[in-house]
């Protein structure tokens, strides 16, 4: 049951590397939230039911509903719809994303060991690399924000692999979501639009030597 | 510990609602009274060496750095009152509350006995520090705050991935430092290496070490100078302590020599960046921030060398806290006079504020590690240990880079004191009382260079014990 969900999760990561519409970004982050909710439900079914309910609700509420809703609100407010100044072509991004996938798979195969769940580790690593690629290749701050959320989701996915023994770790991962997502999306992004009237990273290069 | 955290947060919350500027002084007195009482409870009230709620422990490292934090934070708070006197009450009280919350979060990180708890408090420092960085509400401060939140969040997420991997590798049911340390010996070496790399990269944004050192520099640049004194010392120490705990935790593992090599590389790279950018920057606050990168690089080299180098690294960080906070507080007075920090424009400070200029010049000598600076001792110990282990290439490289640092400091600080001023002076006169106050921290550091009390030596001995 978990494998199809994880494959779907990997597909969303690949799609994120080629899409150029911000609405698609927000929708994919929302879809990842729902997938993580389902994965948490299946993966953690053995833990204390009260704890499972709490984790599942947190995941659904923040990753599946609140974060995508905030992203859509930002899109509406800033009226930015498209990555018109992508630093790379779609095919280049796709190629880089596939290279990242191959690297993650190879590394996971190389460190194969019974200590950690390799599928979760490999996908988390791929999410980390995908997020970094998004941050480095795209110029708009919105893309950077999405890159950060992709990394965060990857970390959460990996925490569910270990969370069977230590559910507290998943709660900490969600804490990261709540604090950072709300702060970054809710406050700073709005302020940046007000103060800088800019939505690409080129405008954020004044503080330097 | 919980009582301390709640009391501190409550006072910070109350600060948000004060109606007169004078009341900020009283809430400040109350807050630092609580800190002093807590420090007294640790050292005189029997808390030292004990655990609290299973999440915290009052060990030597936490206690020593907490005392330093209280001193630096109190100086930063009361200097801020004078520094921000003309600003709107609403802004000052928010800033004051955030300064208190930042102090509390840093204290939580110092006393955390659990990997995840350390991580949570370091995350909390990001939120508080970002608010302080955004204090001026300008485009520059917004940019610095955005970068700070973004890069720190990414770094903290990476560090969490490292902690998860460490938990998986050791198969511990608890993330208490002592529990993980016991299980680390038989853990998968590759997982431990990857976990350490992720934790080091993640925490480097707090320690102001390569590779994520840039956000700390931007944050210090945008924050008010007294707050920079706290960010560049207390917060940096929180990251250093978190790294030191992971370093000690891995001491029993087979990957420890590799960990030390990584720290050597990171330390050397930080020293290179610090030394080169000290020449390049045209802003005195960024200049002092790059000096922090350079000094933390030296501390990382101390950890990487091992042996007496670890003792020297901890001593270096302790003394750097006093010296650097003093210099940042002096810079706050410089801004009062010139309304800016541009290196190529401002000068003649010796004739405007003699006490402040002397404070800056003595601070320069201390940071250059000339006797009787305590940094002379620590750097000599690190270099001595480097020679002892036969790493001559490192000794040569360090000496070359330290020469660049000395040249940069001499040219920049002497320029501030003696070159003809080209900017209009700000209306407000230099507050000499603030300069004297900042100088007292520097004198305390110089005393440590001449005489290290047994109490301090004993604490550092316990910190470096495996």
Question: What is the pLDDT averaged over residues B452-459?
Answer: 94
pLDDT tens-digit map of B339-383: 889 888 888 899 999 999 999 999 999 999 999 999 999 999 999
CB contact under 8 A, A175 and B171: no
SS3 per residue for A136-197: HHCCEHHHHHHHHHHHHHHHHHHHHHHCCCCHHHHHHHHHHHHHHHHHHHHHHHHHHHHHHC
Question: What is the pLDDT averaged over residues A135-148?
Answer: 83
DSSP string across B15-68: HTT--SHHHHHHHHHHHHHHHHHHHHHHHTSS-TT-EETTTEE--HHHHHHHHH
**B contacts of A151 (beta carbons < 8 Å):** 154, 157-158
Q: Which pLDDT value is given to residue B434? A: 93
Which residues pair with residue B283 across a beta bridge? B342
Q: Greatest CA span in chain A, whole angstroms?
A: 54
Question: What is the pLDDT averaged over residues B205-233?
Answer: 94
Question: How far is residue B141's CA from residue B130's CA, in Å, rounded to a whole number?
Answer: 9
Q: Which pLDDT value is given to residue B404? A: 95
Question: What is the pLDDT averaged over residues B217-231?
Answer: 95
CB contact under 8 A, A188 and B146: yes
Residue with tokens 């590389």: B265
Residue B86 corresponds to which tokens in the numbers above?
A: 């003309």
CB contact under 8 A, A124 and B161: yes
More confident residue, A114 or B188: B188
Whether A82 has a pLDDT exceeding 80, the answer reads: no
Q: Are B360 and B445 in contact (CB under 8 A)?
A: no
pLDDT tens-digit map of B199-211: 999 999 999 999 9
Whether A164 has a pLDDT exceeding 90, the answer reads: no
- Look at the alpha carbons of A109, A134, A137, B274 in this order and tell me if their dihedral is positive or negative: negative
CB contact under 8 A, B167 and A162: yes
Confidence of residue A193 (pLDDT cuts 50, 70, 90): low
Nearest-by-Cβ selection for A172 from B116, B158, B218: B116
Q: Which pLDDT value is given to residue A177? A: 64
Say how many residues make up chain B.
Answer: 466
**B contacts of A209 (beta carbons < 8 Å):** 277, 280-283, 286
**In this complex, is the C-beta atom of A103 within 8 Å of any C-beta atom belonging to chain B?**
no
pLDDT tens-digit map of B149-159: 888 988 888 89
Q: Which pLDDT value is given to residue B360? A: 95
As a whole-number percent, the residues of chain A with pLDDT over 70 amount to: 76
CB contact under 8 A, A196 and B143: yes
DSSP string across B310-347: HHHHHHHHHHHHHHHHHHHHHHHHHHHHHSS-BTTT--
State the burial class of residue B213 (Cβ atoms within 10 Å of its Cβ: 0-12, 13-18, 19+): buried
Confidence of residue A187 (pLDDT cuts 50, 70, 90): low
> Count of A–B CB contacts within 8 Å?
112
Q: For residue B74, which of B97, B100, B37, B93 has the smallest C-alpha distance?
A: B100
Whether B297 has a pLDDT exceeding 90, the answer reads: yes
Nearest-by-Cβ selection for A115 from B147, B188, B222: B188
Confidence of residue B451 (pLDDT cuts 50, 70, 90): very high
> Nearest CA to CA, how far is B218 from chain A (Å)?
7
Q: Which pLDDT value is given to residue B40? A: 96
pTM as predicted = 0.93
Q: Which pLDDT value is given to residue A111? A: 75
Choose from B126, B161, B275, B412 for mutation: most chain A CBs within 10 A. B161
Q: Which pLDDT value is given to residue A140? A: 78
Residue B112 corresponds to which tokens in the numbers above?
A: 């955390």
Residue with tokens 């520094």: B83
More confident residue, A196 or A8: A8
> Nearest CA to CA, how far is A142 from chain B (Å)?
12
More confident residue, B358 or A182: B358
Domain boundaries, position A111:
2-208
Q: Which pLDDT value is given to residue B62? A: 96
pLDDT tens-digit map of B35-62: 999 999 999 988 999 998 889 999 999 9
Nearest-by-Cβ selection for A209 from B147, B191, B286: B286
Question: What is the pLDDT averaged over residues B113-130?
Answer: 91
pLDDT tens-digit map of B66-85: 999 999 999 999 999 988 88
Q: Which pLDDT value is given to residue B147? A: 87
Q: Which pLDDT value is given to residue A166? A: 66
Question: What is the pLDDT averaged over residues B301-319?
Answer: 96
Q: Which pLDDT value is given to residue B320? A: 97
Whether B137 has a pLDDT exceeding 90, the answer reads: no
Confidence of residue A169 (pLDDT cuts 50, 70, 90): low
Whether A86 has a pLDDT exceeding 60, the answer reads: no
> Nearest CA to CA, how far is B295 from chain A (Å)?
19
Confidence of residue A19 (pLDDT cuts 50, 70, 90): confident
Q: Which pLDDT value is given to residue B443? A: 96
Which residue of chain A comes nearest to B164, CA vs CA? A159
CB contact under 8 A, B146 and A165: no
Whether A90 has a pLDDT exceeding 90, the answer reads: no
**In this complex, is the C-beta atom of A162 within 8 Å of any C-beta atom belonging to chain B?**
yes
Region of poorest pLDDT, from A1-15, A177-191, B241-255: A177-191
Q: Which pLDDT value is given to residue B427? A: 59
**B contacts of A162 (beta carbons < 8 Å):** 164, 167-168
> Of all helices (H) and strands (E), which one includes residue B254?
none
Confidence of residue A47 (pLDDT cuts 50, 70, 90): confident
Q: Are B192 and B252 in contact (CB under 8 A)?
A: no
pLDDT tens-digit map of B238-257: 999 999 999 999 998 999 99
More confident residue, B233 or A198: B233
Question: What is the pLDDT averaged over residues B408-416?
Answer: 92
Query: Rounded to an integer, what is the distance from CA B309 to the centroid of its chain?
Result: 19
Question: How far is residue A147's CA from residue A98's CA, in Å, rounded to a whole number?
Answer: 16
Q: For residue B1, which of B29, B34, B28, B33 has the smallest C-alpha distance?
A: B34
State the burial class of residue A79 (Cβ atoms within 10 Å of its Cβ: 0-12, 13-18, 19+): exposed
Q: Which pLDDT value is given to residue A50? A: 79
Which residue of chain B comes nearest to A167, CA vs CA? B173
Cα torsion through A128, A129, A135, A138, rounded to 10? -140
Region of poorest pLDDT, from A123-137, A168-182, B348-362, B407-421: A168-182
**A contacts of B283 (beta carbons < 8 Å):** 209
What's the total number of domains in chain A?
1
CA triple A82-A187-B163, angle to 5 deg: 90
Question: How far is residue B143's CA from residue B150's CA, in Å, rounded to a whole number?
Answer: 10
Choose from B154, B184, B275 for mutation: most chain A CBs within 10 A. B154
């Amino acid at each position: 049951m978990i494998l199809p969900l994880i494959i779907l999760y990997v597909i969303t990561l690949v799609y994120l590397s080629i899409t150029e519409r911000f609405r698609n970004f927000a929708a994919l982050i929302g879809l990842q939230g729902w997938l993580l909710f389902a994965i948490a439900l299946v993966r953690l079914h053995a833990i204390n039911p009260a704890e499972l309910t709490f984790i599942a609700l947190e995941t659904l509420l923040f990753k599946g509903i609140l974060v995508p809703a905030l992203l859509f609100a930002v899109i509406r407010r800033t009226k930015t719809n498209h990555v018109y100044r992508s630093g790379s072509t779609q095919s280049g991004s796709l190629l880089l994303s596939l290279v990242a996938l191959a690297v993650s798979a190879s590394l996971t195969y190389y460190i194969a060991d019974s200590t950690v769940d390799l599928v979760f580790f490999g996908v988390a690593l791929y999410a980390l690399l995908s997020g970094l690629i998004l941050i480095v290749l795209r110029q708009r701050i919105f893309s950077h924000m999405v890159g950060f959320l992709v990394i965060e989701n990857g970390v959460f996915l990996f925490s569910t692999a270990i969370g069977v023994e230590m559910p507290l770790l998943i709660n900490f991962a969600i804490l990261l979501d709540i604090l950072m997502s709300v702060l970054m999306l809710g406050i700073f992004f709005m302020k940046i639009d007000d103060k800088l009237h800019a939505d690409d990273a080129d405008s954020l290069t004044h503080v330097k030597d | 510990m919980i009582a301390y955290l709640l009391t501190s947060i409550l006072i910070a919350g109350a600060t948000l609602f004060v109606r007169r500027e004078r009341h900020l002084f009283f809430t400040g007195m109350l807050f630092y009274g609580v800190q002093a009482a807590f420090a007294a409870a640790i050292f005189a009230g029997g808390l030292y060496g004990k655990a609290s709620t299973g999440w915290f422990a009052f060990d030597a490292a936490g206690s020593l750095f907490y005392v330093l934090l209280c001193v630096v934070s109190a100086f930063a708070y009361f200097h801020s009152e004078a520094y921000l006197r003309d600003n709107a009450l609403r802004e000052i009280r928010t800033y004051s509350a955030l300064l208190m919350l930042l102090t509390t979060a840093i204290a939580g990180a110092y006393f955390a006995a659990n990997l995840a708890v350390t991580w949570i408090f370091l995350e909390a420092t990001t939120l508080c520090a970002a608010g302080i960085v955004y204090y001026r509400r300008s485009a520059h401060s917004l940019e610095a705050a955005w970068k700070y939140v973004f890069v720190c969040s990414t770094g903290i997420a990476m560090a969490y991935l490292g902690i998860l991997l460490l938990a998986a590798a050791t198969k511990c049911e608890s993330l208490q430092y002592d529990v993980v340390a016991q299980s680390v010996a038989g853990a998968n070496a590759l997982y431990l290496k990857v976990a350490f790399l992720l934790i080091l990269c993640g925490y480097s944004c707090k320690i102001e070490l390569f590779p994520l050192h840039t956000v700390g520099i931007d944050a210090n640049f945008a924050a008010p100078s007294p707050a920079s004194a706290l960010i560049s010392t207390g917060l940096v120490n929180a990251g250093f302590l978190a790294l030191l705990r992971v370093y000690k935790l891995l001491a029993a593992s087979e990957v420890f020599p590799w960990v030390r090599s990584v720290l050597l590389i990171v330390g050397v790279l930080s020293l290179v960046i610090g030394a080169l950018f000290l020449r390049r920057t045209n802003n005195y606050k960024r200049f002092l921030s790059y000096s922090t990168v350079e000094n933390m690089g030296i501390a990382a080299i101390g950890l990487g060398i091992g042996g007496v180098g670890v003792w020297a690294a901890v001593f270096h960080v302790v003394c750097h806290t006093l010296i650097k906070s003093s210099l940042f507080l002096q810079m706050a007075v410089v801004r009062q006079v010139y309304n800016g920090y541009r290196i190529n424009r401002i000068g003649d400070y010796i004739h405007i504020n003699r006490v402040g200029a002397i404070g800056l010049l003595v601070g320069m000598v201390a940071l250059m590690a000339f006797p009787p600076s305590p940094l002379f001792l620590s750097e000599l110990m690190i270099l001595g240990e480097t020679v002892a282990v036969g790493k001559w290439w490192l000794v040569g490289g360090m000496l070359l880079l330290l020469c660049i640092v000395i040249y940069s400091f001499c040219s920049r600080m002497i320029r501030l004191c003696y070159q003809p001023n080209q900017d209009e002076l700000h209306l407000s006169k230099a507050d000499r009382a603030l300069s004297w106050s900042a100088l007292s921290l520097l004198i305390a550091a110089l005393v440590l260079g001449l005489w290290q009390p047994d109490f301090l030596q004993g604490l550092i001995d316990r910190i470096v014990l495996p």
